[in-house]
């Protein structure tokens, strides 16, 4: 039976460290500030935004929310971003995705000042991740790396397989494992012999967005299995991995919920703290 990787525990540790460092910054007159923009009334987005605001309060950040109607125009949204880019008291800007279909996410991401892009989605920050010289990391892949580090799991010399090639999780996840000297394969919808490739993995990361996609016959005995999926099945939250069967073969596994999910907002807090330090010339 696999050891369960406890994302709630590790996330609480990350937030506690951020809160301690924030208290030190405040003594120097610096309060990290995060602005969150939400367009429209998507219920899941509203839950995420509320959780981010609560996390800011918990660690001692200043936060602002810009809730804009679903019929907001591109010009109106960009005007808010431009204003926040100029604000010295705002260190991080986050535009909650997805946006209504008439708004261009790429243009919005490009418009956010790269030094305030605490989601690390902008081309500048993505390029920095590619070369391994970065200030911010995308929150979910960074959370996965934090979990691995906490449990003493190194990617060095390991075969690492990532299922999914999204810009938000799959691609940066592969790069972070590569930076740790893992040998990385990224699989996707056109991959042939997927099950065979997955069985070669010492570390398997599932980020495909399909409930129970990874079955026990796709997993090598003793593999580390990281489930990034967040799906609804018969009204219940579940991941991309068939937890009950795969946990019998894996050495470590993340549950859903309670695994990778809690880490994402913790890493957002960490990125915002880093942004505040950079803006004020404060060394770690």
The stretch 208-219 carries a mean pLDDT of: 97
User: In the predicted model, what is the mean pLDDT of residues 193-205?
Assistant: 98
d(CA 43, CA 15): 25
Confidence of residue 163 (pLDDT cuts 50, 70, 90): very high
Q: Is residue 160's pLDDT more than 80?
A: yes
Mean pLDDT of 139-167: 98
In sign, the C-alpha dihedral spanning 75, 76, 81, 85 is positive
Q: Rounded CA gap, 119 and 272, in Å?
A: 9
pLDDT digits (tens, 9 = 90+) for 45-87: 899 899 999 999 999 999 999 999 999 999 999 999 999 999 9
What was the pLDDT predicted at 283?
84
| All structural domains of the chain | 29-113 (3.40.50.10860), 139-261 (3.40.50.720)
The catalytic position among 96, 171, 220, 274 is 96
Res 278: pLDDT: 97
> pTM score, two decimals?
0.95
Question: How much is the mean pLDDT over the chain?
Answer: 96
Per-residue pLDDT at 202:
98
* pLDDT > 90? residue 233: no
Question: By the 8 A CB rule, do 251 and 220 touch?
Answer: no
Sign of the alpha-carbon dihedral angle for 243, 244, 246, 252: positive
pLDDT at 211: 96
Percentage above 70 pLDDT, the chain: 100
Q: Is 119 a catalytic residue?
A: yes
pLDDT of res. 234: 86
In the annotation, is 113 catalytic? no
Question: Catalytic pick from 91, 116, 117, 119?
Answer: 119
pLDDT category of residue 31 using cuts at 50, 70 and 90: very high
pLDDT at 232: 87
First and final C-alpha spacing in the chain:
40
96 is catalytic: yes
Query: What does the pLDDT average to over 2-11?
Result: 98
- How far is residue 55's CA from residue 121's CA, in Å, rounded to a whole number? 21
Reported as a single tens digit per residue, the pLDDT across 83-122 is: 999 999 999 999 999 999 999 999 999 999 999 999 999 9
């Amino acid at each position: 039976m696999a050891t369960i990787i406890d994302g709630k525990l590790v996330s609480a540790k990350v937030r506690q460290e951020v809160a301690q460092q924030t208290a030190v910054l405040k003594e120097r007159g610096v309060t990290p500030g995060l602005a969150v923009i939400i367009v429209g009334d998507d219920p899941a987005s509203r839950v995420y935004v509320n959780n981010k605001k609560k996390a800011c309060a918990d660690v001692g950040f200043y936060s602002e929310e810009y809730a804009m109607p679903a019929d907001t125009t591109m010009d109106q949204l960009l005007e808010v971003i431009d204003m926040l880019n100029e604000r010295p008291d705002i260190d991080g800007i986050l535009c909650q995705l997805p946006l209504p279909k008439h708004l261009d996410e790429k243009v919005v991401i490009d418009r956010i000042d790269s030094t305030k892009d605490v989601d690390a989605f902008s081309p500048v920050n993505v390029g920095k991740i590619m070369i391994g010289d970065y200030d911010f990391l995308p929150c979910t892949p960074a959370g996965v790396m934090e979990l691995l580090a906490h449990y003493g799991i190194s990617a060095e010399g390991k075969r690492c397989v990532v299922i999914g090639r999204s810009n938000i999780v799959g691609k940066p996840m592969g790069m972070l494992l590569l930076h740790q000297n893992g040998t990385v394969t990224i699989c996707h919808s056109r991959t042939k012999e997927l099950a065979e490739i997955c069985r070669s993995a010492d570390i398997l990361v599932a980020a495909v967005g399909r409930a129970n996609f990874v079955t026990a016959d796709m997993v090598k005995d003793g593999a580390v299995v990281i489930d990034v999926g967040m799906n609804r099945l018969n009204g219940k939250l579940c991941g991309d991995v068939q937890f009950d069967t795969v946990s019998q073969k894996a050495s470590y596994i993340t549950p859903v919920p309670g695994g990778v999910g809690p880490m994402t907002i913790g890493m957002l807090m960490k990125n915002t703290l880093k942004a505040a330090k950079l803006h004020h010339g404060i060394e770690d």
